Structure 1
Amino acid sequence: MMNNKYFFILGNNPALSLIEILAVAQQQQIMIKLIDYFDYVLLVQMDQEFDFSILGGSIKFGTLLDGSEQYDWSIVESILQRQIIENQKFNFGFSYYFDEQKKIKQWQKECEKNSLHWKKLLAQQGQSARLVSSRETELSSIIVSKEKLLIGGCELLLICRKNKFYYGITKQVQDWRDFGQRDYGKPQVDATSGMLPPKLARLMINLAQLPKEQALFDPFCGSGVLLLEAMTMGYQKILGSDISQKAVTDSKKNYQWYQQQHPELQCQVQINSTDATTLPKELVSEKIGAVVTEPYLGPAWKTRPTFSRIQQVQKELQNLYCAFFSSLNQITLPGTKLVMVWPVFRLGQQILLTYQPHLINNRQWQVVDYSQELNNFGIFGISNFIYSRPDQVVGRQIITFCKQ
């Protein structure tokens, strides 16, 4: 029975957030059914709740309550009243997610006006309460966490879609402190070779749907971002390699640092200096369960490249990646998944993809069709899964392959 309703607030790249949620639900055998989806909001029914902290691409998760045809303060008040713990200060705040932005300010003003009046009534009853607000129409995960709205407080979401109101109570938010520690706190960082965000690394590992007891391999490990994320997620056997001896040294130092920070994480980590285009069979002492990697994405651009320069770099990268696929065939078995970043170049309004289907024809690897999976779920019109910012020259296209 799928009587439980939940909401997810997705990250800045919602297409990737969606496929990660579906991958985790499938791996954990959770039945999930779409209620609605717009912008960064996903509303679903599930037969059980899964641990939101495993996700890398979503910001908030919580319980979705019954909706109404119009905004009703009495419903809001009733929900908040049920969250109060007697003789304890009650911090509460609101986030607004509407499909029509022009409506938000109106309801935000109305809701905060009613909240201040309600606070006075509570004070008369001897109950201390504080309204947590923001200049934005939604509270960030940092505010929700710092203001203790998850423990003894409440963040209430007002969601409006096609003139129907939904109400949600946030149960978990993304652990920004933990991700930040692994992103900026590690001792060895190499900005010139690119910095894979830990959130994206976690998302990619989730797409691999790998059981924790199987070996995960990153053949372009760099400073070890994916390796650290796999450790954090509880993987027992983690393999990394890189052609650069500096990268191998950096990865080992970062691994040792993180192990000292978290001695409870017990796992086998093996890091070697190896060319990904000539991977030796003896590199791996046992079967590789999945390969998750961000390869070399090209040079760091100090100025905007020309179209011809981008084409030249793309050709060089395509040759590198094809050689990598040929090498990978020698050490992997059918059923192995490869989750891989392919660079996307932005030149003005043009988006130039490095991945082309013909590159891996007859190379024993089939692309996982995430667009079709979303169609089956009830979400249409999403064909590319790209992690990028508007000002970036190079974005990251995430593609999952399965060996046949």
Structure 2
Amino acid sequence: MKYLFELGRQPEISIAELEAIFLHDGVDLNTLKPRHIGSYLVIESKDRIYAEKMISRLGGTMKIGNAIENTGDPIASIVHFLNENSTGKIHFAVSGEVTKKTGIAIKKQLKSLGRSVRFIETKNTASILHNNLVEKKSDFTILENNIFVTKAIQDIEGFSKRDFGRPGSDDKSGMLPPKLARIMINLSQIKTTDVLLDPFCGSGTVLTEALSLGFKNIVGSDISQKAIDDTKQNVEWLQKKFDLEPKTFDLYTSDSVHLLGQIKPDSINAIVSEPYMGKPLRGNENKETLKKQTNELAQLYIESFRSFHKILKKDGVAIFIIPKFRHENKWITVNCLEEIKKIGFEILPLAPRPEKREAKGVDSLLYWRTKQYVGREIWKFKKV
């Protein structure tokens, strides 16, 4: 069976997350024959993929569909599928390698069969959700002469509630998007019974996403007492609202350099964190100011990793964001990787597919939007 994954705004990050999920589940990536086509990933799987269950784990995939029979004429095939599987008025949408004319042609043929039809021009997954097109089996994607019917879409309302509906927040710190936090957790490839730590927990975004994914042992720390209070409030809110209960939930007011005073050595399976990334930028900072900031951050991160090495278990991992700053269309980076490796860590590649890694010569993933002054570079470190 062929499956379609519609990727998020930054496809390489979405693909890396999918690869991590499949590897975590013991799937040989080569058997999937993955093909990246624009904003989509197409795979082939002998085993059934339960789309709703799969997408509930993901942060970077917008929708999942599976292939339906194509007689050679995609329009005629969709008309036949809708006519056979729909009762009453038909509402449908079609996207991918199509134009508006494709939808109009499908509508015209269905009308000729005596069906009442509405063609919906969807702009995003919200349109699919609000028109109940997944339940109606009537959202289609045409790609390379394959037809996919959507089986599941991202829970955009759930992400929104966990982002904007939670009681504790601080606009001056972090602002890690819940979707990115979830992606980072998945990139760690740890089990839900393992112990996960965020040593810069802020408002608790990583911890609440871990909890919503079913993680049972979560630990947070932050130098700010307000951050600890916000995290406690947000985790307790999520527990009550969605009836979630971790086995252990520990919070410590501590800087990232002195964690050993609070956390036992060799007790953490994974660290997932967006650290302090410096003072907020306006975009008019000179190069010297940015260089000074990157030097300060480098020292913080190096000393933090000395602490991480003591509390991580052998082969434990850290999914860690290291910022880079935009100045006159060039990046100013935080130079700390070599020192982190000397402490006793190796860098594990995150960029999708080995052949792409070799071509690009990078092991990290960059989360960045045009016109932003700060890019989030995601790295995966393993304690050796």
Say whether the fold is shared (TM-score over 0.5). Answer: yes
The residue number in structure 2 matching 1:131 is 119
Q: What are the Cα deviations for residues 229-287 of structure 1, in whole angstroms up to 9, with x where unaligned? A: 01100000100000111111111111122122112444421111011111125424982
Change (3 A) 1:334 1:7: same
Confirm whether residue 176 of structure 1 aligns to residue 156 of structure 2. Answer: yes
Q: Secondary structure of 2:313's partner? A: coil
The residue number in structure 2 matching 1:9 is 6
Deviation at 1:375, TM superposition (A): 2.1
Q: Secondary structure of 1:143's partner? A: helix
Q: Does the aligned pair in 2 maintain the 1:374–1:380 contact within 8 Å? A: no
Change (3 A) 1:210 1:281: farther
Residue range with higher mean Cα deviation, 254-263 or 376-385: 376-385
CA distance in 1, matches of 2:44, 2:359: 19
Q: Does the aligned pair in 1 maintain the 2:202–2:228 contact within 8 Å? A: yes
CA distance in 1, matches of 2:245, 2:335: 36
Match 1:306 to one of 269, 279, 286: 286
Match 2:139 to one of 129, 143, 155: 155
The residue number in structure 2 matching 1:46 is 45
Q: Which amino acid aligns with 1:8?
A: F
Match 1:215 to one of 195, 199, 204: 195
Q: Does the aligned pair in 1 maintain the 2:268–2:312 contact within 8 Å? A: yes
CA distance in 2, matches of 1:180, 1:275: 30
Change (3 A) 1:265 1:170: farther
Alignment of 1:384-395 (within 5 A): 384-395=364-375
Q: Which amino acid aligns with 1:83?
A: N
Alignment of 1:15-164 (within 5 A): 15-32=12-29, 33-48=32-47, 49=49, 51-65=54-68, 72-84=74-86, 86=87, 88-96=88-96, 98=97, 107-122=98-113, 124=114, 127-134=115-122, 139-159=123-143, 164=144
Q: Does the aligned pair in 2 maintain the 1:213–1:236 contact within 8 Å? A: yes
Alignment of 1:252-331 (within 5 A): 252-284=232-264, 287-331=267-311
Match 1:250 to one of 209, 212, 230: 230
For the aligned residue pairs, the C-alpha RMSD in angstroms reads: 2.3
Q: Does the aligned pair in 2 maintain the 1:201–1:229 contact within 8 Å? A: yes
The residue number in structure 2 matching 1:374 is 353
Change (3 A) 1:62 1:300: same
CA distance in 1, matches of 2:228, 2:38: 40
CA distance in 2, matches of 1:65, 1:8: 15
* Unaligned runs of at least 5 residues, structure 1: 99-106
Deviation at 1:377, TM superposition (A): 8.6
CA distance in 2, matches of 1:167, 1:200: 30
Q: What are the Cα deviations for residues 102-127 of structure 1, in whole angstroms up to 9, with x where unaligned? A: xxxxx4233122123134234x2xx5
TM-score, length basis structure 2:
0.91
Change (3 A) 1:39 1:330: same
CA distance in 1, matches of 2:40, 2:253: 43
TM-score, length basis structure 1:
0.87
Q: How many residues align?
A: 377
Q: Does the aligned pair in 1 maintain the 2:317–2:383 contact within 8 Å? A: yes
The residue number in structure 2 matching 1:102 is none
Change (3 A) 1:212 1:395: same
